[in-house]
Amino acid sequence: MRTAVVWDALRGVLAERAAATGRDRLDIVDAGGGTGGFAVPLAELGHAVTVVDPSPDSLAALERRAKERGVGVRGLQGDAADLADLLHRGSADLVLCHSVLEYVEDPISALTAVAGLLREGGAVSVLAANPVAAAIHRALAGQFDDARAVLTDPVGTWGDRDPTPRRYTAETLAELLTVTGLTVGAIHGVRVFSDLVPSRLVDGEPGAADALVALEQAAATHPVLRDIATQLHVLGHRTSI
């Protein structure tokens, strides 16, 4: 439910890429893919998936999850900055970069490394935390000074205790993709309502979960609601090598 909007976008990218290349089995890299929440389902769809993650514990959990689901996913230990050393340039049809740019030391270098993996016509899926949503959530928790700080801080944090080092608006994400040589595609809001609606209203009502997913899908591109989502999802395309 929380990632339905992202999966809608990914299915579209995969279908377009398969049609353009004539290949049903695409090469996918999940940078910072952790325990395989996206990687394993993509492997189940028949794609060749590689996860690069700095945590050996996460890679071990990925291996267990893939084995339980009867698929193969290659796991490599490393950071986003190591991608060029770990994988061949121009070897991927799709690269996922989800919840990574908030934490890397140099986001431009990290996304440049991601872009370097793409074949011509390939795509990158970027998912990042949104400062506007952080302000809303801090305000609802009664942390009004924190909420105000998020809105005025250049990197969208609410202070030294904030576990997220930086956040991105749709505009700053688009700028980041552009400076790293990518063409900006669709931008979606992810979890506009899911993090605000009490779980009892979803779990206890028949059909409520499906209705919430439909609402999230409708809100994902709404000109106002998109920009208050917990996360923003941007597709970038490599139009030339």
- Tell me if residue 156 falls in helix, strand or coil: coil
- Residue 93's pLDDT band (cuts 50, 70, 90): very high
Q: Is the pLDDT of residue 241 over 80?
A: no
Mean pLDDT across the chain: 95
Residues 6+ apart with CB under 8 A from 205: none
- Tell me if residue 25 falls in helix, strand or coil: coil
Render pLDDT for 102-124 as a digit per residue (tens, 0 to 9): 999 999 999 999 999 999 999 99
- Residue 81's pLDDT band (cuts 50, 70, 90): confident
Domains of the chain: 4-129+169-192+231-237 (3.40.50.150)
Render pLDDT for 166-216 as a digit per residue (tens, 0 to 9): 999 999 999 999 999 999 999 999 999 999 998 888 887 889 999 999 999
The residue ranking higher by pLDDT, 200 or 71, is 71
State the pairing for strand pair 27-31/74-77.
unpaired
Question: Contact at 8 Å (CB) between 180 and 108?
Answer: yes
The CA radius of gyration of the chain, in Å to the nearest whole number, is 18
Question: Contact at 8 Å (CB) between 176 and 80?
Answer: no
State the pairing for strand pair 183-190/231-237.
antiparallel
Distance of CA 219 to the CA centre of its chain: 18
